[in-house]
Amino acid sequence: MQINDLNIAMNSIIKLIYSNGLIYRVIGLDNSKPSLECLNGENDYEEILYSDLAGIPLTNEWLNALGFEPCSNQYYQSLKVHDELFIIISGKGAVYFSTHGDHEWGLLEIMTAKHVHQVQNLYSAISGNNLPVALPSE
């Protein structure tokens, strides 16, 4: 896997394929290898290549950890980016922009997200800020 295949960015939350559940934040990128910070344990690697990385599947627990809140229909979750822009995600990972914080109307589908870092990258691209993350409770 190459850096563009995973599409990670600085501050993305990712995991190592062989890491026994440890979660890492990307703190540096170059063409040959990433620099990582372990968020829930001790760094257990010496040298990591991009082929060692995997995205974290997007689940309701991770959406909550990213700050998303359930819409009136629990199948959708919403995150306010600024006063008139929300990111809304369906239970199947469809990602929408909306000017309202609910799924009822005014949705513009923009992508399908399967991994946490994809939502982080989208938020960063449209807001100019990193999405604060609290690791989900076990």
* pLDDT value, residue 39: 84
Q: Over the chain (138 residues), what is each successive 10-residue block's mean pLDDT?
A: 54 70 80 80 72 86 90 84 86 85 72 89 87 76
Asked if 117 and 104 count as a contact pair (C-beta separation under 8 A), the reply is: no
Cα radius of gyration (the chain): 15
What SS3 class is residue 50? Answer: helix
Q: What is the pTM of this model?
A: 0.81
Domain map (residue ranges) of the chain: 3-54, 60-127
Helix H or strand E encompassing 116: helix 116-127
Cβ count near 22 (within 10 Å): 17
Residue type for position 56: I
